[in-house]
Amino acid sequence: MLNAFEQPQNILVLGGRSDIAHAIVRELSSSALSKVMLAQRGGGAASIEGLPGEVTVTAVGFDATDHAGHEQFIADVVAEHGDLDVVIQAFGQLGGESVNSDPAAAGQLADVNFSGAVSSGLAVANHLKAQGHGVLVVLSSVAGVRTRPSNFVYGATKAGQDAFATGLGHAVAGSGARVMAVRPGFVRSEMTEGLEEAPFACDPEDVAKAVAEGLKKKKSVVWAPGILRVVFTVLRILPGFAWRKLDR
């Protein structure tokens, strides 16, 4: 259970290879942290650099598109490792160059980024409500706040994930469980390596600090960096022709 300082004992990462999630785990690390479970496709090696030696890090097999199996997956993790204090939903894909024109590729991306987020998020929320505590941290994106022509399929999947996360947060209110949606901008990470940086780019550690602060303040939505909240207040109402010019 989270202590009075919002420090978790057990953390589950859905998308265990995410460098942003690893940075969040390091930021949340304290003397209270005991176990970290990295849920990733194929299981494999489990390690996060910079954690105290007494913290146990375990890899467990996880498939974001195994929608029917997510409820049992959470039950199995809890049975072996105990209650979940923080669950970080960190899996996702950008999609290839053809995703904006290939229906099959677009559908596959949506199945991971949106459908997988919904089924796994509900499975987590059901357990957190039953145990009466815990936080689901959903790594969304500013790409879903207003979709750009150059990545509108990816943006649409993140918009769906974000809407789901904020709605789920309202649905679990009063149960002891919480949901926090995190809206990073461009993050210098393995997933974005080789891409041209967008304005207000940040590092995984910056997102991690924003997440830790948001948990302490019991926020429902966190922007990383925080200035993007102001930026997108303006960009949301920008005329369409101007929005398209910004994306060139």
**Residue with structure tokens 């195994």?**
66
Q: What does the DSSP assignment read for 135-151? A: EEEEE--GGGTS--GGG
- Options 73, 154, 164, 223, the catalytic residue: 154
What separation in angstroms does the CA of 199 have from each of 145, 155, 218, 241? 16, 17, 28, 20
The total of other beta-carbon atoms located within 10 Å of residue 165's CB is 25
236 is known as an active-site residue: no
Question: What is the Cα–Cα distance from 166 to 5, expressed in whole angstroms?
Answer: 24
* Helices vs. strands in the chain: H and E counts, helices first: 8, 7
Active site residues: 154
